[in-house]
Amino acid sequence: MTGATDRALVSALHGPLLEQTGAFRGNALLLTGPARVGKLGVALAVAAQHNCTGVRGMYGDACGGCPSCLALAAGAHPDVLVVEPRATTTTGKAARRKLIPIGAVLEARDKAREYETHVFEFLEVRPTFARRVVIVNGAEHLGPEAANALLKLVEEPPHGALFAFLAEDLRSVLPTIVSRSARLSVAPASDRALEFALAQSGAPADAALVEFAAGRAGVLSDHAAVTAALSSAAEFTAALEGGLLGALEAAEALEKSWDAGWHPEALRFTWRALPPHARAKADTALDALQAALEAYASPSLSFQVFALNLRDALGDA
């Protein structure tokens, strides 16, 4: 989806929340809510609010047309930094454990150059528009050193910067960060609200997508990837009902299109109508596949084994 579409979704789904954030003048916000409920979208909307130079919307949301809003929609805003857990290890493999290390905060501690921009250096520069915003997407994954370094900045942010900490569970965030932040909950939306938001953004109506989203605006923001994963999962599952050769070819196709962020959930969504005992077997097969991939086992062999195990589960349906 485009930046304009994301903005329309966030405004339609979380307007009342934006009324609160637009007037916020503190140093740190802590946005909590389920995975993919739209916390990052809200945080970016807050960054837009605090830098917008145009006429605000109904809820005090950014105008969407000024130079600041256009820069944010293009993903190139000079005053916004998103910090996330490292996705790979120093050897280039997928990281098994999510972690935001001290290297994300201090350039001198980023020996492997995992982060292009570091928080301390980012905040040394005066804002181009109004306010520099640091979004920590996954505050529960902050390492102790990184958290302590950030706390010093939160207490006295250079140039009046704003921190937005995002987390799925308030209990998993360090108490020192919680105590220094204003807390807001990003709640799931109703299906009707999601349908309305899609209509407002100009996206095509998709009942399956709304059902899959289950109130999570972040799913709609990644519309193309989610739709592709749902289609791939359905095709793969259907292919397993045929011959063995077709199942192995389907496993190869799934491996090539695999999106670790969406495929596991898309597969479980595809199996939702299976009898409980068959669905349990299918879930076990998927868990085994994910464990094998995380252990860096042969992807080709892992997907073939997964296809065979899943065929067995579907045979029990």
Q: What is the pLDDT of residues 239-251, one digit of tens each?
A: 998 889 999 999 9
DSSP type of residue 89: -
pLDDT at 95 over 60: no
Tokens for 310, please give them.
Answer: 């899943």
Q: What is the mean pLDDT of residues 157-161?
A: 94
Higher pLDDT, 87 or 275: 275
- Measured in whole angstroms, the distance separating CA 207 from the mean position of its chain's CA atoms is 22
The model's pTM is: 0.83
DSSP type of residue 66: S
Domains along the chain?
3-193+197-201 (3.40.50.300), 222-315 (1.20.272)
Distance in angstroms (rounded) separating the CA atoms of residues 294 and 31: 29
List all residues 6 or more positions away from 62 whose beta carbon is below 8 Å from its beta carbon.
7, 45, 48, 49, 51, 52, 54, 56, 68, 69, 72
pLDDT tens digits for range 78-90: 999 999 997 655 5
Distance in angstroms (rounded) separating the CA atoms of residues 267 and 242: 18
Mean pLDDT, all residues of the chain: 88
The number of C-alpha atoms within 13 Å of 308 and in the hemisphere containing its C-beta is 7
Sheet holding 80-83, edge to edge: 80-83, 133-137, 162-167, 28-32, 182-185
Q: Give the pLDDT score at 296.
A: 86
Q: What is the mean pLDDT of residues 151-158?
A: 92
- Give percent above pLDDT 70 in the chain: 91
Q: Shortest CA distance to 279 belongs to which of 263, 293, 267?
A: 267
